[in-house]
């Protein structure tokens, strides 16, 4: 689906990704992990830029509008599917079909309040789920998420991860929860200082390998654990 060769990226004039090479295939469920400042979010934003015609993006920044309702914030995921006149009229007086569609998504995301409620009245975890709902409403084949469950408890995060998996052929997600990466993804990519130092399929992932990533130690001398495994 996508191949990167010797990719170098900067974030705020600082080197964030250093000559990184990897490939991601259609249908993979890929978790990206690593310590703070490893370059995870920079890499994810770049992947979205390359795939945006077929991908939805749920970023940490969220990009929600406090003055608008939950409905309208989720509906923003469908703006590109409609003429601007349709979107304008829907802003003033929501149409029945998209209203019901958004209500269904919010129910799936366990947002148990009227979707007319303004974003400014929601908690951090609720806002995060609204941002997730907007990404789901884009109805794309690829989901790209930057810690989309960080404000949620582990049980809810697992339920919503299942929702994401069921609605997207390919998932690329930055996670702070190492155990979730280990338990639920086909492949784990570990970054450190802008470099890929762990890239393992699910059957070869061990908690020890992930612990070494965060400790800054070499992962393995075994050739089957070579970097940039695809």
The pTM of the full predicted model, rounded to 2 decimals, is 0.86
Q: 17 forms bridges with which residues in the sheet?
A: 9
Q: Provide the pLDDT for residue 165.
A: 96
Mind giving me the DSSP string for 93-127? S--HHHHHHHHHHHHHTT--S-TTSBGGGS-HHHH
Count of Cβ atoms closer than 10 Å to residue 192 Cβ: 18
Residues in the chain where the model's pLDDT stays below 50? 217-230
Strand 55-58 and strand 142-146: pairing?
parallel
Q: Provide the pLDDT for residue 216.
A: 62
Q: Provide the pLDDT for residue 194.
A: 86
CB 149 within 8 A of CB 164: no
Q: Provide the pLDDT for residue 221.
A: 35
Count of Cβ atoms closer than 10 Å to residue 45 Cβ: 17
Q: Provide the pLDDT for residue 58.
A: 94
What is the three-class DSSP state of 164?
A: helix
* CATH numbers and ranges of domains, the chain: 1-54+140-230 (3.40.50.300), 66-139 (no CATH)
Considering the chain, what percentage of its residues have pLDDT values greater than 70?
93
């Amino acid at each position: 689906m996508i191949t990167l060769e010797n990719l170098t990226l900067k974030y705020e004039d600082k080197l964030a990704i250093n000559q990184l090479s990897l490939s991601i295939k259609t249908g993979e469920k890929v978790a990206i992990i690593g310590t703070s400042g490893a370059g995870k979010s920079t890499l994810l934003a770049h992947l979205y830029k390359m795939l945006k015609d077929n991908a939805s993006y749920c970023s940490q920044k969220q990009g929600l509008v406090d003055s608008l309702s939950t409905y309208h914030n989720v509906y923003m995921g469908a703006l590109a599917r409609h003429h601007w006149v349709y979107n304008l009229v829907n802003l003033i007086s929501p149409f029945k079909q998209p209203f019901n569609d958004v209500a269904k998504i919010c129910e799936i995301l366990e947002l148990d309040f009227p979707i007319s409620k303004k974003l400014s009245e929601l908690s951090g975890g609720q806002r995060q789920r609204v941002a997730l709902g907007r990404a789901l409403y884009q109805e794309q084949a690829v989901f790209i998420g930057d810690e989309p469950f960080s404000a949620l408890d582990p049980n809810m995060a697992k339920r919503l991860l299942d929702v994401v998996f069921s609605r997207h052929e390919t998932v690329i997600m930055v996670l702070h929860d190492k155990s979730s990466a280990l338990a639920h993804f086909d492949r784990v990519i570990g970054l450190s200082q802008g470099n890929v130092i762990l890239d393992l399929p699910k059957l070869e992932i061990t908690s020890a390998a992930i612990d070494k990533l965060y400790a800054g130690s070499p992962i393995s001398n075994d050739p089957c654990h070579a970097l940039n495994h695809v």
